[in-house]
Amino acid sequence: MRLKKLSFAKINLFLHVTGKREDGYHELCSLMAQINIRDELDFFFEGSGIRVTCDHPLVPEDKTNLAHRAAALFFHTCKKKNRPLPLDGVSIHIKKQIPPGGGLGGGSSNAACVLMALNDYCSTVFSKDELMGIGLELGADVPFFIFGSPAIATGVGERLEKYSNLPDLYLVLCDPGVPASTVDVFKNSVFRLTSGPDYNMNTGLNALLRGQGVEGREKLHNDLEASACRLYPEIGSAKEEMEFLLKRNVYMSGSGSSLFALFSGPETAGKAYELLAEKWSQGPKKVFLTSLRR
C-alpha cells in the first residue's frame, strides 16, 4: 500500500531567547506559523524494517534522518505501551523542497508527518497529545507541526498556545544557499536576557499586527540573527541585498539561514518575487513565493 502526505515548512515571525535552563537548553518566545512550502513524503507499507530515501544530496538516508528516527520511535513506543500494529515496517521517500538547514523546520516537519501518517495508518493508536509528546523526544519543533495551527511557542518551543489573529500574509522567501547549524548558531550567540516572555511576545505581536496590515515597516526581531550572520556572512549579505531591492524589512527564520519579507497582498508579493527571481537566476540563492497556512 502507498500513501502520500505533505510536510509543510514553518517560519518564526519573531524569536526571542528568554532564558537558559540548567540542562543547557535555551527558553524561547516565538510566533510560529506554517507556510505553503512543502516536502512530499511517500509511504510504502510493505516488508519489515525502516528505510528512508531522499532526492536531496544534503539529506542523510540513514538512522540519523529525523524521519527514520520518528518511525523507529513510533514502533518502539507502540511496543513499550503494548499497542498492537498492523505492520512490521515502512519505506519512506522524501521529495525535498524545504531548504535543509534553512530554519524552516524541514526535518522536524518530516518527523511530525511520519508520526501522523503512521498513527493514521494504525487506526489512531495514540491521541494527538500523546503524539505531540512522542514528537518532543525528537526535537522541540516537532510538536508544533502536529499541533497544526499558528502558535505562540514558549519553553524550549514545546509549550504551544494557538494564535488565531494573524492577518493574511504573503512572503517572499530566500534560501541564501548556505545551510546553518542550529547548534553552532546558539553556541555563538550572546543573549542579554533582559526581558521576559510576556514583554517579548507583546512587542512582536504589536509590531506585526499594528493596523492589521504589513507594508514593510513592521519591526520584528530574531535574537539568533546576529550570530547566524557572524558565522555565515552569506546570510547577512543576502539580507542587505533583499532590503535594498525590495525597499522593506527582511527577517531571518529560526536559527537561519532562510530570509523573508512580508506583504499584505499577493500582487505586491508577486512583483517582489519576480524581481528577486530575475536578479538571482544564476547562483546559489533560491527564491520562493508563498503564504501563511491557517
Q: Give the residue from 100, 129, 162 where a domain finishes.
A: 162
User: Quick one: CA torsion of 282, 276, 248, 201, rounded to 10 degrees?
Assistant: -80
Q: Is there a catalytic annotation at residue 23?
A: no
Average pLDDT over residues 251-277: 96
33 DSSP β-pair partners: 11
User: Do 270 and 138 belong together in one domain?
Assistant: no
User: Quick one: CA torsion of 235, 241, 242, 247, rounded to 10 degrees?
Assistant: 140
User: Do 12 and 118 belong together in one domain?
Assistant: yes
Q: Can you tell me the distance from the alpha carbon of 15 to that of 28, in angstroms, rounded to the nearest whole number?
A: 7
Give φ, ψ of 137 to 5 degrees.
Answer: -65, -20
Q: What's the whole-model pTM score?
A: 0.93
User: Do 84 and 124 belong together in one domain?
Assistant: yes
Please check whether residue 101 is in contact with residue 180, taking contact to mean a CB–CB distance below 8 angstroms.
yes
Average pLDDT over residues 212-229: 84
Q: How far is CA 52 from the centre of its chain?
A: 20
Q: Give the residue from 118, 136, 162 where a domain finishes.
A: 162
**What is the per-residue pLDDT for 32?**
97
**What is the per-residue pLDDT for 206?**
75
User: Do 158 and 203 belong together in one domain?
Assistant: no
Please check whether residue 100 is in contact with residue 179, taking contact to mean a CB–CB distance below 8 angstroms.
yes
- Among 85-89, 248-252, 261-265, the range scoring the smallest mean pLDDT is 85-89
| Average per-residue pLDDT for the chain | 92
**What is the per-residue pLDDT for 87?**
85
Q: Is the pLDDT of residue 212 over 70?
A: no
Query: Could you tell me which residue, 99 or 201, shows the higher pLDDT?
Result: 99
Average pLDDT over residues 217-221: 84
**What is the per-residue pLDDT for 22?**
77
Q: Can you tell me the distance from the alpha carbon of 114 to that of 70, in angstroms, rounded to the nearest whole number?
A: 6
User: Do 187 and 137 belong together in one domain?
Assistant: no
Query: Could you tell me which residue, 194 or 1, shows the higher pLDDT?
Result: 1
Confidence category of residue 267, pLDDT binned at 50, 70, 90: very high
User: Do 175 and 279 belong together in one domain?
Assistant: yes
**What is the per-residue pLDDT for 211?**
43
**What is the per-residue pLDDT for 20?**
82
**What is the per-residue pLDDT for 3?**
94
Q: Is there a catalytic annotation at residue 141?
A: yes
User: Do 156 and 174 belong together in one domain?
Assistant: no
Range of the domain at 284: 170-291
User: Do 144 and 174 belong together in one domain?
Assistant: no
Q: Can you tell me the distance from the alpha carbon of 185 to that of 191, in angstroms, rounded to the nearest whole number?
A: 12
Please check whether residue 101 is in contact with residue 58, taking contact to mean a CB–CB distance below 8 angstroms.
yes
Cell reading at 217:
515597516
Residue 82, domain CATH: 3.30.230.10
pLDDT tens digits along 12-70: 999 999 888 877 788 999 999 999 999 999 999 988 999 999 999 999 999 999 999 99
Q: Give the residue from 141, 162, 183 where a domain finishes.
A: 162
User: Do 66 and 148 belong together in one domain?
Assistant: yes
Among 93, 100, 107, 106, which Cα is nearest to 65's? 107
User: Do 64 and 134 belong together in one domain?
Assistant: yes
Q: Is the pLDDT of residue 159 over 70?
A: yes
Average pLDDT over residues 258-265: 96
Distances (CA, A) of 3 to 45, 46, 254: 8, 11, 30
Residue 185, domain CATH: 3.30.70.890
Please check whether residue 197 is in contact with residue 188, taking contact to mean a CB–CB distance below 8 angstroms.
no
Q: Can you tell me the distance from the alpha carbon of 49 to that of 61, in angstroms, rounded to the nearest whole number?
A: 14
Among 97, 6, 113, which Cα is nearest to 59's? 97
pLDDT tens digits along 100-111: 999 999 999 999
Cell reading at 169:
500574509
- The H helix count followed by the E strand count for the chain is 9, 10
Highest mean pLDDT among 102-106, 186-190, 208-212: 102-106
Please check whether residue 257 is in contact with residue 228, taking contact to mean a CB–CB distance below 8 angstroms.
yes
Cell reading at 192:
542579554
Please check whether residue 128 is in contact with residue 140, taking contact to mean a CB–CB distance below 8 angstroms.
no
**Residue tagged active-site, from 4, 42, 79, 141:** 141
Q: Can you tell me the distance from the alpha carbon of 39 to that of 54, in angstroms, rounded to the nearest whole number?
A: 10
User: Do 88 and 232 belong together in one domain?
Assistant: no
Number of domains forming the structure of the chain: 2
Query: Could you tell me which residue, 217 or 182, shows the higher pLDDT?
Result: 182
User: Do 143 and 16 belong together in one domain?
Assistant: yes
Cell reading at 213:
496590515
